[in-house]
Structure formats: structure tokens, C-alpha cells
A and B are shown apart, each in its own frame.
Chain A
Amino acid sequence: MIPAFLSIHLPMTLTPVFGLIFPTLSYIILGLLALMSLLYVLSFLMRKRPPVKKDLKDVIVLKKGYDIPIKGAPAGDVQDVKVTRFAIQPKNFRYIFPIPKLTVAVGDQVQAGDVLFFDRDRPDIKFVSPVSGTVEEILRGAKRSISEVVIRADETQHYRALDVVPETAERARLVAFLAEAGVWPMINQRPYDVIPDFDKVPRDIFISTFDTAPLAPDGAKLVEGREAAFQKGLDILARLTSGSVHLGLDGRKDIHPAFANAKGVKKHYFSGFHPAGNVGIHIHHIAPIRGGEDVVWTLGVQEVITIGTLFTEGKFDATRIVAIGGNREASPRYVRTFQGAHIGELLGYSPAHDVRVISGDVLTGERKTEDEFLNYFDDQISVIDEGDYYEMFGWLLPSRKVPTVSYTYKEGLFPSGKPMDIDANTHGEKRAFVMTGEYERMLPMDLFPQHLMKAILVADYERMEALGIHELSEEDIALCEFACTSKQPLQQILRQGLSEMMSE
């Protein structure tokens, strides 16, 4: 079968050469072995560890996770910006009746804190205007659902007169007041991330004072100048729970005294990479959610301040500090505005067509056009590249340095941490789950994300519950979705599971 000419003696003449090459080659192989081993050991030794502030005790250090280094982190003092249009969007709230009952019509004058609409299922949950002005538009979406109620703001703000109850009033009166004043939807109830039920007293209340998401605003900027309102908000919340108010604090660096010296709350220091600042991670490490009926509340810093202002100043003040950042934002900055601000006006320019504007952070936010509005809970805008391109052999040799957690890249093995450009390209197509442990490296929880996702996909409710679906929210596994080799839409899958669990 093999031709006879192969047996001729021609190759013999090369023998002396191979006599030299073979020993050399064997040394090269042994050298490579040593080099690989060295690199392997180094990749463990040089792995970044989360910093912990000196002389701080009892810090919960979370080694898992990743801070995506993106260019254009917001910086500088908070600037005032003139925005004329604001909107409250019913679609920002999960599981409310899609066509809420409107109490205003186009052309009506409203004051800040005036009711715009309420939920048909639970009429006591009122949604109020963040500013005083004129109702300019009521935009409708699919099936006549209401997508936005747009208010054109007055030059000077007027606030609705509120009949503030004393903060020592009994719980039921406080709850009724908060609902009437329009701050009830600012409270998030876990599990499922919904507007809280009136009849369920939360076991505990959790507030994260630091946001580790990419390009997120610094907690100090949010509370600066509003310290009293923040403390008052904490005092009120403490009266609403049967347990305690837990404050998650940044254990990596010096923090604002309003957080460090907060009273009447239990303080917990955390250090780590994103998602270490997520309230869901805090809950898991402080007092985990035990099931569908184990209700806790979570709030953001600015929501607490709005609640506090009701009592300190007697008005509904939806002032929001918003961080604008991203690799396509020319001047990353902080601006002061109100809830639901118009994105185009906030940015001050029309974004180019190859730019993606996101309300919220790049991991969990919602894509917006310049004519849309900031979402209810969002305090940041991310401006990144759209990523509409074909990359030749991009899966093998990317054309530029990329943020990655994959050890197949130098950046993944030995992270430089230098801010980089980022885009919305998925860098590959969706595939079946073939995981090499990246979910586990991205989620600092005692939980098995891959198995939970598979349980959701096969709608195994008992397993979903036992694997801890109630402890999770989309933001917690968003980083797993970033890292996923198979480009699986984990946040979507998780929400599908949560919705199914809710209706069970």
C-alpha cells in the first residue's frame, strides 16, 4: 500500500541534522513545559484580589466576579442640566396591569407629586409626577398599553401639598401615607422584584450604598448634600419592617460619612468585584431569602432620600443624580435632574447612529433612543459602541484589546485593568450550554447558576426553588451572561423562571 520509493536512502543524508535537532527539540519541549507550569502558577498568584480598607473589621470579601474595565467612567462635580421633558413609564414596573387607570389628561397642569395614574389591580398604588408642569403626551404601546406619560416641566418647581403623618404614627398609617405620596413603587420587594404588597410586612430591608456595575455612579455623589434626608429615610424604613434595615457598605475604600455613620441600621461591609455591590449578593450573605413567601424589601440610595425628603421637607422630591459615561461619551459626568428625564436633553446632543445609548448599566440596562426617557429606577446612562461589524477571524485574533474574563486571552490571564472600548456585538453566536466553569467564577453566591438555568428551561419548579431562584434577580447573573461562552440569554431565562414561579 505504501510506495516502495519511501524506503530509499535519501533521507539518510539528513541524519546528522536531525541528530542535532532532536536533542534540542527535546530541551525546547521540556523548557516549554517549565514555562507553562510557571505561567500557570503565576496566573493564580497574580490574580487580582479585592482591596480591603485598612483597620476595617468583619469585611465580607467576595473573590468572585469581575469589574469590566470600560473607558469613560463618570467623574467631576455634579452639574445642573436643563431638561424640560420627563416621563413615568408603566412598563418599568413588573406585573402591574398593563393599562393603568389614568387620572390626568393631555394638557392638565400637575405639581410634583400629583398622581398621574394608578394600578387597576391595586388602586392604592399611585404613580406620581416627578416634576410640576403640563401633561404633554400620553404615549401608547402594543395593545393600547400606556408606555409613557410625558410631562413638560415648569421653569420653577411646585410641589403638591402633603398631609405628612408624624413618623411615630403606627405602621398602617405610614404605609397609607407612602402610597398616597407616590413613593410606594420606589420600594422593591424580593423575591420577584415587584412593587410591595400592602399586607406583607417585610422580614428585613436591604439597602446597598455602593454600585459596582460598570460606569455606575459613586454612592458619595448621590448622598452629598442630602445626608439628613437619607438618615430620615432610614428611620422611616426601620418602622416598616419587623426585622432590621441592613446597609451594605463598600469595604474597599473610604466612604461617605452619611453611610459610615448611619444610625438605626445594621451595617455590613463588603469588598469585591462586581456584583459585590448588588443588594442580592448582600442579602445572600447577610440573611438569605428562604422562599417565595419570605419577603424582603430593597431600595436604592436615591429612593431612600426621596422617602426621607417627604418627612424632612414635606414634599415629593424626585431629584436624581445621574451618571453619564461610556467609551462613546465625550465628557463622562454627573448631572442633577429628576426621575424619568428625557435622554436626548440629558445628553445634550444626538448620538451618532453607530452608538448605543442605554438607560442603566451595560449589563442590565435598556436600550433607548434619544427621544426616550430614563427608566424609573435608573441613575446612569451608558453610551457605548453599537458594534455592527464583521470581525475577520475575530474569534481567534481580536483586532484590539478587549475586556474579557476568558483565560484564553492575555487580558484574561493577566488583567491589566486598563479601561477599554466596548461594544454591543455579541462576539459569537448562541450555542448549547458548554460551560467551563465561568458562571461559577462570576457569581459570589453558594448557588449553581448553570443547573438553575437548566431547571428553568425544563420548568422543574421544585428544583428551581431548591436551587435558589428566589435569591436571584437579573442583575445578579448579568455578569454570568457577559462571560457566557455560549451566549445564552441568562437574564431572560431567569425572568421566565421567576414569572413561572410567581404564577405557580
Chain B
Amino acid sequence: MGLVDFFKKLEPDKKKRPLLHTLYDGFFTFLFVPNHRAGQASHVHDHVDLKRTMIMVVLALVPLYLFGMYNVGHQHYLALGQYSDPTEAVGAKLLYGALRVLPMYIVAMVVGLGIEFYFASKKGHAIEEGYLVTGALIPLIMPPTVPLWILAVAVALAVIFGKEAFGGTGMNVVNIALLARVIVFFAYPQTISGDAVWVAGVDGYSGATPLALATQGWDQVTQKFSTEQMWWGLIPGSVGETCKPLILLGALFLLLTRIASWRIMLGGLLGLVFMGLLFNAWGATAFMRVPWYYHLYMGSFLFAIAFMATDPVTAASTNRGKWIYGFLVGLFGLLIRVFNPAYPEGWMLAILLMNVFAPLIDYTVLQANMKKRLKRA
């Protein structure tokens, strides 16, 4: 117990220095689960808490970070025409990627957590752990070239207006990570769309992503990228969205630990398949004729449905509602992907849209339950 006593001695005064105390409390409870005990029934509690839940999601994202760093480096050297074999210069690629990705992570964390700490100390609350996941997600869904100051502005706006204005963790209506991305998207579109932003550190290089090519048909995509390349993620794109096996690994981990809802994921997949088949049958444009299963290879569907749509706060919260919510995310996402010529990716907008409609979905599901009960009365 010596260590506890040592840290207890360091505790700053809560009244005199609220910000410092919040900071201390955040780190102390990270190190030690406090000795809080139940005052009344229930006397026993499960060992799991919000810290554990959130860290499990972060764990699922760690492999994506590692691969993301490598791939940012790989794409960089590829554009320069050097080390085109993936096994060449792995150290340099990792180092280059780390120099790109880690600053993004640090900026997202410092800005976001700083705001969280400030509001927590203002309210006299403990720090809620939700931002650990949000802050880890944000760099993964940004292009590697995004300027850090834009990232900082987007994170600050998203956290203040998307979360704190609504009452903090657990109260937000839309997914904060996606809100940060959408702020970048609408305020600084040139930094997050087009062909020039997906490869870092090579001026004037234009590296079209598979999605951009797919508007002219699947043949155009396969001329540049093999399906194996797309499966393993050695393609330009946002930092964490390219490597499909690692995303699946994280998704399975979240399913296994029951943190993410399998209903949302399966519903989303069904929505995508439904819409994809519909487009294949319609076939008016080249993009529509892209076989539905290839939509899984391109872009960020898997990442979005596994990590973004399943956010327990902003998704639908009834079991039946989760099916509907997931299905509509899949459906609208593909709709936007195929129909929106300016920005060929739909999951961000689809999920944000469904975030807003999630309470309505829950409302209709609850209404059915209520009607049943009132009918008995």
C-alpha cells in the first residue's frame, strides 16, 4: 500500500486548484481503482467499469495504428518511386509514418483531453473515459496529410459543440470522431477530398484511391490495384481504414467482448448488400455496375461499421432499433458513395445522419412496447 499513500500525499486541494485536482484524479484512478464501496444495495458490483470498456476499444485499434504508420510510409516511398516492394525499407517506412501519425494522435489527445479536463474541473466531476476512444479514432479517419492546426480546430469544435454542449460523455447526439471529420470536410474540403491528399510528403503527387477510380468502373480499379493489395491495405487512404484483416480482427474482438453490437454490424452488412444488389440490377452508371462484394474492399465501410456505427452512445439503444439503424447505415452509406460525385465515400455522412435518427428509431421501437402494455390496461 506504500505506493497508494505516496500518490495520496501528492493530491492537490480540490477547492483551491480544481483543474490540477481533476488532472490528478484522472491519473490516480487510472493507476488505482479507488476504494469506493457500495453505501446501500446493491452491495456487490461487477468488476467491469467504463475505463475497461473504453480501453478494450483502444486495444482493438492498436494494430490499425501500427499498420497505418507503416502504410503512410509505404505510400510515401511508393510515390517517390522508391522501395516499391512492401518488404523493403520497413524501418524507414514505419519511422516516416510514425512521424506523420503520432503528431496527429498527440494533437487529437492534447486538444480533446484538455477540453475534457477543463469541463470536468468546472463541473466538479471526474473525467469520463469516452474521449480515450474518440481521440484514438480521429487520426485513423483522417488523411495522412491533414494539417495539424486544422485537426486541432476540428477536434476542439467537435468536442465543445458536439459533446460538452450536450452534457459530456454519454449525452452526445452524434459521434464525436465523425463530427471532427465532417468539420474538416465542410470547412477545409481540399484537405480531405480529391486525389492529392492521400499520400503524405510528396508535393504534386496525385494518388487516386480505389473509390475515385471506381466511378469509371471496376476495371479501372483493378488496373491500378490488385484485390490482394486492397485486402491487405497497401493502398492510399485514411490512416486506419485500409487494412481489412486488421479491421476485421478488431471488429471480432469487439464482438467477442460484446462491446460492439453484432446487430448493428450485421444490419449494416445487410444494408450494403441490399443496396449493392439493387445497384447491380439497375446498372445505370459504371459505378453502379461494380459488383456489390467489391464495395467491401474499397473505402472504409468495414472500419465505419465496426468502430463508428457501433458507438453505444450515439447508436440506437434498443435491440430491434439496432437492426434498423445498422441496416440504414449500410443502405444510405452506399447510396451516398455511388451517387455523390464530389466525394466518393458515404459512411461518415450516413452514420451522422443515422445518429440523428437513432432516437426516432428507438422511439418507434419503444412505442410498440408501450402500446402492448397499454393495451393490457
**What is A's interface to B at a CB cutoff of 8 Å?**
1-2, 6-7, 10-12, 14-15, 18-19, 21-22, 26, 29-30, 32-33, 36-37, 39-40, 43, 68, 214, 288, 290-291, 294, 356, 358, 360, 362-367, 382, 384, 386-396, 398, 402-409, 412-413, 422-429, 431-437, 440, 446-448, 450-451, 463, 466-468, 474, 478, 481-487, 489, 491-492
Contact = CB atoms under 8 A, between A and B. Distances in A.
Nearest to A18: B87
A425 B88 CA distance: 53
Interface string B40-52: 1111111111111
A482 B46 contact: yes
Contacts of A40: 252, 255-256
Contacts of A391: 32-33
B192 to A, nearest CB: 19
Nearest to A290: B377
Interface in B62-112: 82-83, 85-92, 95-96, 99
Interface stretch (B179-187, B218-226, B311-319, B341-349): B311-319
Given A12-B83, A422-B44, A468-B373, 18 more contacts: A7-B92, A18-B90, A22-B86, A39-B256, A363-B41, A393-B31, A395-B33, A395-B55, A408-B53, A428-B36, A431-B129, A432-B167, A433-B170, A437-B258, A448-B369, A466-B370, A483-B46, A485-B49
B317 A435 contact: yes
B52 A396 contact: yes
Contacts of A15: 85, 87-90
Interface stretch (B16-24, B243-251, B273-281, B330-338): B243-251
A422 B90 CA distance: 49
Contacts of A360: 41
Nearest to A214: B44
Contact of B52 (A382, A395, A446): A395
Interface residues of B, number: 80
B128 interface: yes
B10 interface: no
Nearest to B313: A434
A387 B253 CA distance: 31
Contact of A404 (B38, B46, B51): B46
Contacts of A1: 201
Nearest to A483: B46
Given A356-B43, A482-B44, A390 B256 contact: no
Contacts of A407: 256-259
Contacts of A474: 41
A428 B47 CA distance: 8
Contact of A485 (B43, B53, B82): B53
B33 A492 contact: no
B134 interface: no
B245 A363 contact: no
Nearest to A8: B92
B12 interface: no
Contacts of B40: 366-367, 489, 491-492
B366 interface: yes
Contacts of B92: 6-7, 10-11
Contacts of A382: 43
The 4 A-B residue pairs with the shortest CB-CB distance in the complex, in nearest-first order: A428-B49, A432-B170, A394-B33, A406-B48
Contacts of A363: 41-44
5 contacts: A29-B246, A403-B46, A406-B48, A424-B37, A431-B49
Nearest to B318: A448
Contacts of A405: 46
A413 B34 contact: no
B165 interface: no
A489 to B, nearest CB: 8
B143 to A, nearest CB: 16
B4 interface: yes
A16 B169 CA distance: 48
Contacts of B53: 408, 434, 436, 485
Contacts of B132: none
Contacts of A390: 1, 4, 32-35
A26 B252 contact: no
Contacts of A435: 312, 317
A431 B128 contact: yes
B34 to A, nearest CB: 6
A404 B377 contact: no
B45 A425 contact: yes
Contact of B35 (A389, A393, A396, A482): A389
B370 to A, nearest CB: 4
B9 interface: no
B50 A434 contact: yes
Given A15-B89, A433-B170, A440 B47 contact: no
A474 B312 CA distance: 25
B256 A43 contact: yes
B40 to A, nearest CB: 7
B51 A365 contact: no
A404 B48 CA distance: 8
A365 B377 contact: no
Nearest to B49: A428
**Residue of A6, A391, A481 contacting most chain B CB atoms (<10 Å):** A6
B41 A478 contact: yes
A219 B377 CA distance: 33
Contacts of B169: 431-432, 434
Given A18-B90, A448-B318, A482-B44, A429 B36 contact: yes
B38 to A, nearest CB: 5
Given A11-B92, A294-B377, A427-B33, A362 B44 contact: yes
A6 B80 CA distance: 13
B362 interface: yes
B261 to A, nearest CB: 7
B249 A434 contact: no
B47 A466 contact: no
Interface string B200-220: 010000000000000000000
A268 to B, nearest CB: 18
